[in-house]
Every structure is written in C-alpha cells, then in structure tokens.
Amino acid sequence: MKQTKPNPQGKGLSTVLDSLVDSQVKTSLPPKNIDQVSSELFTSLFVLNTNFEFRPVAGNSYWLYHTRDKFKLFSTAPNAWACRQPGIFIGKCVLQNDVTWTIQLDQEVSQQEWFIRHMDEQIIFLHESLENSTSLEEAMPYYAKQMSYYSRLLAYGLGSSLNTSMQKSGINLLRYDQAKMLLNCDSKSS
C-alpha cells in the first residue's frame, strides 16, 4: 500500500521556522533613504501580492503574467511555453539577495492604459499606507495575512531587510512625512 505524506509541501512547524530564518538577509545591507525604501517596497509588494506556489530563489528570474483578472508568477519564460503562455506577459522579476524584487516590465504592457491605471492605484494605496503609519518600521510587511505561504515568508524577510537599511540611515522610527522632509533637506544642502 502506498503511503502518502500528510504534509506534501513540507510546511510543518520546524520547516516554517527554518523558512523564516532562510528568508532573512545574509548580506550586508546599505543605508537607504525613503525614496529607495518606498520604491523597493512598492515593487516587492507588487510581486509578493501575485499568485505563486513555489519558493523563489534569490538571483533567479521569474515571469509575471496577468490571467483571469489576477497576476501570477511563473518560473517559465514567455518563449518557453509548449503551447501558449497563460496570459498577458507583464515582465521579468528577479528576487534580490536583500529580499527585494526587481521587475523589468514588458515594453508593450507598460504603455497599456489598464496596466498604468492599476499601477497608479497601487502607488496611491502604498503612499496612503505609509502616511497612515506611526513609523516607517510599523509600515513594513512583517506579516501579511492575505498573502500565500511563500509570499508571506518573503514579505517578512523584505520587512526585516528594509527596516535594517532604514535603521542604518536613521529613518526607521520616523513617520513617512518626516523621512520625506529629511530627504528634501539633505538634497537641498548637497
């Protein structure tokens, strides 16, 4: 008789704890100003709020598609699908060593009105969230209940990574408006 694993994805308690440790940054992080933090937070949350059911590896490329009113991340490039790709190709995403994400948007989709409108809505939502937080540290996504398992792990790592960089630049306990004002003062004095 064939035995099945009761937990085929291996998400037991010890594996979850190991995954949390693995999601932490293992490289030295530079100080970052509020514009860098908000830009990296925006891009990373955009990717992390997509659907994916695999564990991304830092340095690897992944491909983002829009299908059936959802964004979905795949490990298959647009030209590698046997039949046809699962939706509109959005761009190539790479998980960085500091647990932030980068996206290289497809030129065509970046000019489409529906996509521009969606991104504008997401930017407004992020800025409102930052402005309504009592500190930048509080605004970090240490736990995002609505995310899937791997997204949640990476969001925890992202929050820790950005918070460390903000600590190094002395802005983690500031409100968003205070950090913006500090950045404006620094740029005027340069």
pLDDT confidence of residue 23: 44
Cα distance between residue 22 and residue 153, in whole Å: 9
Cα distance between residue 65 and residue 51, in whole Å: 10
pLDDT confidence of residue 27: 59
Tokens of 59: 């340095």
Residue 1: pLDDT above 70? no
Chain centre to alpha carbon of residue 35: 16
- pTM of the predicted model as reported, rounded to 2 decimal places: 0.82
Q: What is the pLDDT of residues 40-81, one digit of tens each?
A: 999 999 999 998 988 999 999 999 999 988 999 999 999 999
Provide the mean pLDDT of the chain. Answer: 85
Q: What is the pLDDT of residues 85-135, one digit of tens each?
A: 899 999 999 999 999 999 999 999 999 999 999 999 999 999 999 999 999
Q: Are 78 and 85 in contact (CB under 8 A)?
A: yes
Tokens of 186: 């620094």
